[in-house]
Structure 1
Amino acid sequence: MGTIERTKKKNHLWKKAFGHFALCFVMGFFTGFAPPSTATLFAGRAAEHLPGRSIGILPTAPAEAVERVLEPGVAVNRTMIEIPRSVPTAAVGRGGGDESGDDPPPPLEEARMRELQTPSQRLLIVVTTTRSNDRFQGAFLRRLANTLRLVPPPLLWIVVQAHAGASATASMLRTTGVMYRHLTFKENFTDPEAEADHQRNVALSHVEYHRLTGIVHFAGASNVYDLQFFDEIRQIEVFGTWPVAMVSENRKRVVVDGPICHSSKVEGWILKDLSSDRRLFLTSTDVSTTPSKINISGFAFNSSILWDPERWGRSTSLPDTSQDSIKFVHEVILEDETKLKGIPADCSRIMVWHLHIPRVVPLPFHNQNHDKR
């Protein structure tokens, strides 16, 4: 009798377990056909009906891509990556001519608090200007993007370009995996220098309005960098400077332009041609007290000097500081060398090379065909 009762109890447990299994299976089967949540369902529908924007995720970008479609008749359009909240800067930039969805600039106190971060966490704001009708522009930007992808975040790449050729660049920037903002303008220029200054003012006005707290560097599209350079400029408190090697293959020239330093203190400036002298012997005639011409790729500065000048001993009543920010930067560089920090220590290494690329490059077989004729 004891054996029969135990057998009945065992069979009852098996039937109970099988019933639970069948119930869970049926519930899981039908749950699989339901959406994960109503929030996800409605969010997807809202994104599908959002006019004038497309939303996607870059393969290696740490943030969501928010693209503003380029439209004729709008003064400034841009393709930009929304900066995540963990990065100490504003999320969405201002567009000239279409400011309906713009965010107001953050309070000054909040922007100042961001400066308390450690140097390794400082935002790098790399500004790149472009030249009109430059057929190598796409290749240069792609190469610079590959360099910036190797720089530890946070980093924001600001590319400024004329409106006419912005569509192709916008498509390329979306595939770089670099956090960027694409700013465009509609003005026409015949002077390349005036156009470059205007582009820099467009970028600096964007930085000033949104109080983007970080270290600003103007990176030429044809520049070549040592990756340690980006770690060095994060140490800048006010202004930093370094020597730049300007290389011209077709002219067979190498010119060094930059500061002479002692323990990061700037003591003079040189502009020396090393084409026939590979050993850089300096004489008193080679060193000047002020730079003969400011090489903008040889400087970086704390962006807060634009929107918080009183902190750095500048008067807010200076004329044309907001309309011509790059002129403001030039004045600060020239007026007080004590604010400049030489990079690296003693300015003893070249970490930035500027390549001179001619507008017209002859093909290898061009001379041979010409000789046959």
Structure 2
Amino acid sequence: MRIIPPLYIITPTYRRPEQIAELTRLAQTLMHVQNVHWLVIEDAKEKTPHVTELLSRTGISFEHLLAPMPESYKLRKGSKPRGVSNRNRGLEWLRENATSGVFYFADDDNTYDIKIFEEMRSTEKVSMWPVGLCTKTGLSTPILKNGSFSGFFDGWIAGRKFPVDMAGFAVSVKFLLERPRAAMPYKPGFEEDGFLKSLAPFEPKQIEFKAQNCTKILVWHTQTRKNEPALAIDTAKYGNTNLIMLRQQIV
């Protein structure tokens, strides 16, 4: 009987109007994936009850963790390193609890073909593939010429050694455990590059290319449109109706 290596899916999230909708969409995808353990990590000081309830009824093996962004970064002006504390908390959990398998940073606002999860499962070190709808180029991917690596294609290279999207790579747990200092930096725009460089010794020529040698798009950086917080319900008018319960589920 073939043993299916475990997949650890690390999803940073935070409370917002779209949170439950996006986690629901991702949950419906992961429900079709075998031997998966979902690490849902909130940028919050307390767990959101609706997130806990959603995770509990999916039937997916999961951890619901907390990792608030450090206050020093919240107070900074301009771009903030969103999701970094969450992802580093996920790495910490893996070091404490996992010994084999593959992990993947799956943001809740992306769209995934279930094929990508089976593609990444065989990762021995670091695997990569194309991501659609990413930056002004519409695409982020390693470039292969005659089947061999020749660089990266991305709308924002910025001198990065690994100019790739967060959704475009997976890493072997064993490979991570051999690098106890590997972590994601609190540097907006350079999170992926910094993390992949922290896996040294590791060079682009060692990348394992998936999605039919990077010729298929199996994940898209869709980014749901942001919604304004919902208006309050007039309790005098609707106090004895279903609207009260429904409003409690909306941010």
Task: Output the TM-score relative to the length of structure 2.
Answer: 0.73
Cα 1:272–1:360 change in 2 (3 A) is same
SS in 2 for 1:121: coil
SS in 2 for 1:144: helix
Deviation, structure 1 residue 262: 5.0
Corresponding residue for 2:249? none
SS in 1 for 2:54: helix
Corresponding residue for 2:117? 230
1:155 equivalent to 2:22? Answer no
Cα 1:184–1:307 change in 2 (3 A) is same
Corresponding residue for 1:55? none
Deviation, structure 1 residue 145: 0.4
Equivalent positions of 1:1-373 (< 5 A) are 121-131=4-14, 133-151=15-33, 153-161=34-42, 162-186=44-68, 187-188=70-71, 190=74, 193-246=80-133, 255-262=138-145, 265-271=148-154, 290-291=161-162, 293-309=163-179, 320-321=181-182, 327-332=194-199, 335-360=202-227
Deviation, structure 1 residue 233: 0.7
Task: Output the TM-score relative to the length of structure 1.
Answer: 0.51
Q: Residues of 1 paired with 2:217 and 2:53: CA distance?
A: 33
Name stretches of at least 5 consecutive residues in structure 2 with no aligned partner. 231-251
Letter in structure 2 aligned against 1:295: D
Contact kept in structure 2, 1:267 and 1:289, CA below 8 Å: no
SS in 2 for 1:356: coil
Contact kept in structure 1, 2:134 and 2:140, CA below 8 Å: no
Moved more, 138-147 or 212-221: 212-221
Letter in structure 1 aligned against 2:35: P
Deviations 1:338-364 (A, max 9, x none): 22111123210100011122324799x
Corresponding residue for 2:236? none
SS in 2 for 1:122: coil
Contact kept in structure 1, 2:105 and 2:166, CA below 8 Å: yes
Deviation, structure 1 residue 256: 0.3
Q: Residues of 1 paired with 2:184 and 2:122: CA distance?
A: 29
Higher relative contact order (CA 8 A, sep 6+): 2
Moved more, 212-221 or 323-332: 323-332
Aligned-residue identity in percent:
23
Corresponding residue for 2:240? none
Q: Residues of 2 paired with 1:185 and 1:341: CA distance?
A: 31
Deviation, structure 1 residue 307: 1.9
SS in 1 for 2:138: strand
Contact kept in structure 2, 1:261 and 1:342, CA below 8 Å: no
Q: Residues of 2 paired with 1:217 and 1:345: CA distance?
A: 19
Q: Residues of 2 paired with 1:344 and 1:157: CA distance?
A: 22
Q: Residues of 2 paired with 1:264 and 1:156: CA distance?
A: 33
Deviations 1:287-316 (A, max 9, x none): x9944x44121110101122224xxxxxx6
Deviation, structure 1 residue 202: 0.3
Q: Residues of 1 paired with 2:54 and 2:30: CA distance?
A: 14
Q: Residues of 2 paired with 1:295 and 1:334: CA distance?
A: 21
Q: Give the paired residue count.
A: 217
SS in 2 for 1:213: coil
Q: Residues of 2 paired with 1:336 and 1:163: CA distance?
A: 37
